[in-house]
A and B are shown apart, each in its own frame.
Chain A
Amino acid sequence: MAKRMTPAIARFKKKHAGKTIQVSTPGKEAWRRLRRNRTALLGLAIILLMLIAAIFAGWIAPYEYQQQIYADAYQTPNARHLFGTDNFGRDLFSRCVYGARYSLSLGLMCVIASFLTGGMLGVIAGYFGGRVDNLIMRFMDMFQAIPQVMLAISITAALGNGIPQMITAITVSTMPTISKNCRAAILNVKNADYVESSRAIGVGRWRMIFRHMIPNSVGVMVIFVVGLMGATINMMASLSYLGVGLNPPTPEWGLILSDGKGFFTAYPHMVLFPSLMILFTILAFNMLGDGLRDAFDPRLK
C-alpha cells in the first residue's frame, strides 16, 4: 500500500520539525500541580521557616535556651522577651526557636528509623508475599493491637527517659502503620500492568525493584513521610507533656508546654507559644501532605 500523505500528517511533521518532544515526568507534573495549591505552599513555607529557625537557632535566638535570668522571671511578652519568660526567667522565644531544632530533628530521626524498620519490613512483605508476608503482618497486628500513644508510653516507661529511648518508642509504635502502608504501595505497583509486562520481557528482579517498583511508589511514600512527620511531632509533644520521653531542660516544644502548664491560668503565654509552635508545625506538615496527595493523584481532588 502506498504511503498516503494527508495534510494532518504534514501539519504534524511541520509542527514538530527540529523540536525534541518534551516529556513530562509524573514528578514534574506533580510539582506543577503542587505549585498551584495555595494551602500546600503555605504549609511548605511554614516548614521552611521552621527549618531556618532550627538551623540558625544560634543566631536567631537572643538567649541560650537554658539561660536563667531570675530578675526577668514571669514576664509577659515584651520587646526584650518576645514570647515572655517562664518561672525560671528563661526566654521563651529562644526556647521555642531551639525547640524547632529539637522537634524537627527528632521527628525526622523517628521517621527515618520507622522507614528503615517498618518501611523495609512492609516492602519485603509486599514484594515476597506468601508466608513471609503473613508472618510480618501478623507481627505488625500484634503491635497494632495496642493504641499508638499507649504503646509509646509503655515503652518509654520501661526504657526510661532520654532521646534514644524516645526515638525507639515512637519508632516501634509507628512501625505497624508504616509497614502496612509501604506494603500496600508495593502491592499496588506489583500488580500493575506495566510491571507485569516488564516481567514478561524478562526484566530481572533487582532492576524491577529499583527501576519500576520503587520509583512508582515514591509518590505514595513521600506523602506518607510528610504525614508521619506531623503525627510524630504530635506524639513526641504528647509524651513530653505527660512527663515521659525527654528530660528538662531540653527545649522540646511539648516539654516547654509541660513546664508551663502549672502556671497557665496566671501566665497563659507560657503555654500559648509552645502550643502555637506545635499546632502550626503539625498543620504545615498536614497541609503539605494533603497537597502532595492531590498533586500525585489528581483524581482524588
Chain B
Amino acid sequence: MKRENNDTVVSIKDLVVHYETHEGVVEAVNGVSFEIKKGEVLGLVGETGAGKTTIALSIMGLLPVPPAHVIDGEIILDGEILLGKQKVQKGRKKKDVVVAKSNHEMRHIRGKKVSMIFQDPMTALNPVRYVGDQIAEVVELHNICSAKEATQRAKEMMEKVGIPAERYYEYPHQFSGGMRQRVIIAIALACEPELLLADEPTTALDVTIQAQVLDMMRTLQREQQTALLMITHDLGIVAEMCDRCAIIYGGQIVECGDLEHIFDRPRHPYTRGLLSSIPSLEKDVSRLSPIPGLVADPMDLPEYCTFYDRCDKHCESCKTGDPDLVEAEPGHFVRCFRVEKGSV
C-alpha cells in the first residue's frame, strides 16, 4: 500500500495512547499528528510527562502493553502501515479496531527502517558484552551478512561516530557517558534507517560533550539523509538542529511550524512562556519569567484547553471546549482559541 507522496518518511495521524494503571487512566497522547520528510529534522519539545517518549515508543512498537493502550491513530512509515484502523467483524457489526503490526513483523522494521536513541546512555548498553558486538548485532540481524562483515561494519560505524575501532573489544563501563551515547548512535545508524528517533539524546551529558554529540549526529543525519525526530525539552537544541518544531503540551501539539515561526512569531502562550524561560545572554533581564503552576496532570486533564490553568491570557470563553489546531499562517499551526478568533 504505497502512498503518493514519496517524500514523506513517516506520518502520524490522530495518535491517542493511554496508560491504564491502578490509580487511574493516564492520557499520555491525545490526538497527535505530524509528518517528517526525508532528510528533515523535526523537533518535539515539551516538559516531562507531556507524552514525547510515548509517541516515539508507539512508532517503535515498543509501548509496554499493558499498561499502555493505543486507543486510536495511524502510523505509516515509508509506505508501510505500522498502526492503523481495520474493519473487524465483531458479532454482527463491523467495528473499527486499531491494529498494530505484530511483534514478529515489527522486528524486521526496528533497527532497519526506524531506530531509536534512548535518553540514558549509562543504562542503555548491555554491561557484560563488548560494545563492538552490540553494534555488530544489529547489522547481523538486518543485513544478512557474515559475522566478519558485521564486525567490519561495526568498526566502520565506530570510526564514524568518533570512537577508535580498537575499542571494539571493550565493555560499556570503560566508556564515558558521551562515548556510550556515541555507541548507541552507532547502533541506531548502523543499518542506515529511514527514520531516527532521538529521545533526549544529550540530556544526560555535559554541555561541551552535548555539542560534540549533536554535531556528529547532524553530520551523520545529513550524510545518510535520515529523517530525524528530535525529542527534547531544550529549545537551544531545537534552534541548533531542527528544520521544523512541534511544541507539545498535555499530550497534544499546541504549536507547530518552521523554526522562524516558533522562535520569531510564537503564537501560543505556552510557546511564549517557554521562550521567555530561557536565559538570554543578549538581553539583560534581572529575572526570568517562568511559567507558573505545574505541568497538566495527564491523569486528570480538563475538558477544556489543557493549558488554561497556567495561561496568563485565558478568558472565560477558553473554558468552552478544546481548541483545534488551526493554521495561523502557511505552515504555522496553533492550538489556541484566541488565534482561532484572530485576536492575537
Contact partners of A8 in chain B: CB under 8 A:
292-294, 309-310
Q: Is A131 part of the contact surface with B, judged by Cβ < 8 Å?
A: no
CA distance A4 to B287 in the complex (A): 15
Q: Which residues 5-20 in A have Cβ within 8 Å of B in the complex?
A: 6-9, 11
Query: Is there an interface contact between B292 and A7, defined as CB atoms closer than 8 Å?
Result: no
Contact partners of A1 in chain B: CB under 8 A:
287, 289
Contact partners of B308 in chain A: CB under 8 A:
7
Query: Is there an interface contact between A9 and B292, defined as CB atoms closer than 8 Å?
Result: yes
Contact partners of A11 in chain B: CB under 8 A:
309
Contact with B along A26-53 (1 / 0, CB 8 A): 0000000000000000000000000000
Q: How far is the CB of B272 from chain A (nearest CB, A)?
A: 14
| CB nearest neighbor in A for B312 | A4
Interface size on A, residues (CB 8 A): 7
Contact partners of B309 in chain A: CB under 8 A:
6-8, 11
Contact partners of A4 in chain B: CB under 8 A:
292, 312
Q: Is B142 part of the contact surface with A, judged by Cβ < 8 Å?
A: no
Interface size on B, residues (CB 8 A): 11
| CB nearest neighbor in B for A10 | B309
CA distance A294 to B314 in the complex (A): 47
CA distance A4 to B309 in the complex (A): 12
Number of A-B contacts (CB under 8 A): 22
Q: How far is the CB of B287 from chain A (nearest CB, A)?
A: 6
Q: How far is the CB of A13 from chain B (nearest CB, A)?
A: 12
Contact partners of B293 in chain A: CB under 8 A:
6, 8-9
CA distance A289 to B293 in the complex (A): 43
Q: How far is the CB of B305 from chain A (nearest CB, A)?
A: 11
Tell me if B's interface is mostly helix, strand, loop or mixed. Answer: loop
Q: Is B311 part of the contact surface with A, judged by Cβ < 8 Å?
A: yes
Q: How far is the CB of B289 from chain A (nearest CB, A)?
A: 7
Contact partners of B311 in chain A: CB under 8 A:
6
| CB nearest neighbor in A for B287 | A1
CA distance A9 to B309 in the complex (A): 8
Contact partners of A7 in chain B: CB under 8 A:
308-309, 314
B293, B294, B308: most-surrounded residue (chain A CB, <10 A): B293
Contact with A along B279-293 (1 / 0, CB 8 A): 000000001010011
| CB nearest neighbor in A for B290 | A1
Q: How far is the CB of B186 from chain A (nearest CB, A)?
A: 31
Q: How far is the CB of A226 from chain B (nearest CB, A)?
A: 27
Contact with B along A175-192 (1 / 0, CB 8 A): 000000000000000000
| CB nearest neighbor in B for A3 | B292
Q: How far is the CB of B334 from chain A (nearest CB, A)?
A: 20
| CB nearest neighbor in A for B309 | A8
CA distance A8 to B314 in the complex (A): 12
CA distance A83 to B109 in the complex (A): 67
| CB nearest neighbor in A for B296 | A8
CA distance A11 to B296 in the complex (A): 13
Q: How far is the CB of B290 from chain A (nearest CB, A)?
A: 10
| CB nearest neighbor in B for A5 | B292
Q: How far is the CB of B231 from chain A (nearest CB, A)?
A: 25
Query: Is there an interface contact between A6 and B287, defined as CB atoms closer than 8 Å?
Result: no
| CB nearest neighbor in B for A11 | B309
CA distance A11 to B289 in the complex (A): 22
Query: Is there an interface contact between B292 and A6, defined as CB atoms closer than 8 Å?
Result: yes
Contact with A along B259-278 (1 / 0, CB 8 A): 00000000000000000000
Q: How far is the CB of A75 from chain B (nearest CB, A)?
A: 54
Contact partners of B289 in chain A: CB under 8 A:
1
CA distance A113 to B278 in the complex (A): 61
CA distance A214 to B309 in the complex (A): 43
Q: Which 9 A-B pairs have the closest CB atoms?
A: A8-B309, A8-B293, A7-B309, A6-B310, A6-B292, A4-B292, A6-B293, A4-B312, A8-B310
14 A-B pairs besides A6-B310, A6-B311, A6-B312 with CB distance below 8 A are A1-B289, A4-B292, A6-B292, A6-B293, A6-B309, A7-B308, A7-B309, A7-B314, A8-B294, A8-B309, A8-B310, A9-B292, A9-B293, A11-B309
Selected A-B contacts with CB under 8 Å, 21 pairs: A1-B287, A1-B289, A4-B292, A4-B312, A6-B292, A6-B293, A6-B309, A6-B310, A6-B311, A6-B312, A6-B314, A7-B308, A7-B309, A7-B314, A8-B292, A8-B293, A8-B294, A8-B309, A8-B310, A9-B293, A11-B309
